[in-house]
């Protein structure tokens, strides 16, 4: 058992989860905690290199199977080099996405891929978060926000509105698949209002 606490944020593109993860990180740091903010795909040097292969370029550049392997290669490096060492020293690790994103995104690409994602997770990762906050917003609003960023990282947003609807259903299903660690957060409203919901959900859960 690790001494730290592994917290993940999940949600569709433009759900505001990255903003919330950063705010929580700043708040916990201000309390004097040892806290690490990280993200997927990415979160370690090697995984950030793999990230570029995944989020930039033509939506059809990888088959769904190849894509899953790239996500898991990145995740394994992230786990080995960033997450596990931080947990071992007792830190709170906040990750903006983790395996649940593969379950939902790759599962939404093609339903039959979910079993492959779960098998790879068991085989190569074997670590679930202590707590997962799933931020839910209206998919149309999320897509608008995501594309408005013009980040150049819009390969997944380019799959369109119907895909975003499937994602929402997939993220909601996490709450029933993993009720012991997943909490839904209403992501509508101001950044402050959502941050207050996040703090409420964390009450009594952080060590």
Given the rule CB under 6 A, which residues bind ligand TMP?
13, 39-41, 55, 71, 97, 101-102, 105-106, 153, 156
**Closer to ligand TMP by Cβ: residue 84 or 206:** 84
Shortest Cβ distance from residue 86 to ligand TMP (Å)? 18
Contacts of 132 by beta carbon, 8 Å cutoff, 6+ apart: 7, 8, 9, 10, 98, 100, 174, 178, 181, 182, 183
For the bound state, the minimum distance from the C-beta of residue 40 to ligand TMP, rounded and expressed in Å, comes to: 4
Least separation in angstroms between CB 101 and ligand TMP: 4
Biggest CA-to-CA distance, the chain: 45
| Least distance (Å) between residue 114 CB and ligand TMP | 12
Q: 93: exposed, middle or buried (C-beta count within 10 Å: 0-12, 13-18, 19+)?
A: buried
Nearest residue (CB) to ligand TMP, 35 versus 108 = 108
Q: Are 21 and 6 in contact (CB under 8 A)?
A: no
2 — alpha (psi -120 to 50), left (phi > 0) or beta? Answer: beta
Instruction: Identify which of 71, 140, 78, 79 has the alpha carbon closest to the alpha carbon of residue 109.
Output: 71
Nearer to ligand TMP, 55 or 206 (CB): 55
Choose between 41 and 139: whose C-beta lies nearer to ligand TMP. Answer: 41
Give min distance, CB of 97 to ligand TMP, in A: 4
Nearer to ligand TMP, 53 or 195 (CB): 53
């Amino acid at each position: 058992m690790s001494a730290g606490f592994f917290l993940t944020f999940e949600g569709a593109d433009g759900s505001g989860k990255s903003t919330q993860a950063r705010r929580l990180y700043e708040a916990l740091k201000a309390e004097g905690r040892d806290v690490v903010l990280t993200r997927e795909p990415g979160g370690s040097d090697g995984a950030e290199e793999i990230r570029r292969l995944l989020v930039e370029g033509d939506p059809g550049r990888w088959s769904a199977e190849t894509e899953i392997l790239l996500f898991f290669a990145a995740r394994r490096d992230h786990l080995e080099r960033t997450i596990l060492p931080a947990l071992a020293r007792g830190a709170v690790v906040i990750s903006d996405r983790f395996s649940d994103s593969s379950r939902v995104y790759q599962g939404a690409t093609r339903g039959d891929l979910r079993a492959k994602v779960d098998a790879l997770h068991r085989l190569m990762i074997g670590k679930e978060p202590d707590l997962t906050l799933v931020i839910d917003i209206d998919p149309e609003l999320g897509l608008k926000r995501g594309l408005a960023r013009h980040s150049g990282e819009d390969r997944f947003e380019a799959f369109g509105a119907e895909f975003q609807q499937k994602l929402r259903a997939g993220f909601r299903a996490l709450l029933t698949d993993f009720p012991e660690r997943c909490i839904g957060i209403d992501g509508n409203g101001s950044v402050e209002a959502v941050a207050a919901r996040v703090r409420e959900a964390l009450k009594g859960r952080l060590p």
